[in-house]
Amino acid sequence: MGRPDEARAEYEKVAAEDFTAMPRDGRWLYCMVYLSEVCAALGDAERAPVLYRLLTPYAGHNIVLGCR
């Protein structure tokens, strides 16, 4: 959306303490996938390995998002 400073500010809040603030509910995996895209867009090489580790158990799986 062309607002990297705002994106980084929100991302930093969620990324604190290795993303532990994200509730482990039915949306957790979707959120982690989106956060990995934000991480890449912001060039956050420090937290990329954290997200990789969190997503590794889901390697080989697909995530499908849809609308009703």
The pair phi, psi for residue 34, each rounded to 5°, is -60, -40
Contact indicator for 51, 31 with CB cutoff of 8 Å: no
pLDDT in tens, 28-50: 999 999 999 999 999 999 999 99
Q: What is the mean pLDDT of the chain?
A: 91
Question: Does 21 have pLDDT greater than 80?
Answer: yes
What pLDDT is attached to residue 55?
96
Mean pLDDT, residues 44-57 taken together: 96
Q: Where does residue 26 rank: exposed (0-12), middle (13-18), buried (19+ CB within 10 A)?
A: exposed
Question: Does 25 have pLDDT greater than 80?
Answer: yes
What pLDDT is attached to residue 68?
65
Domain ranges of the chain: 4-58
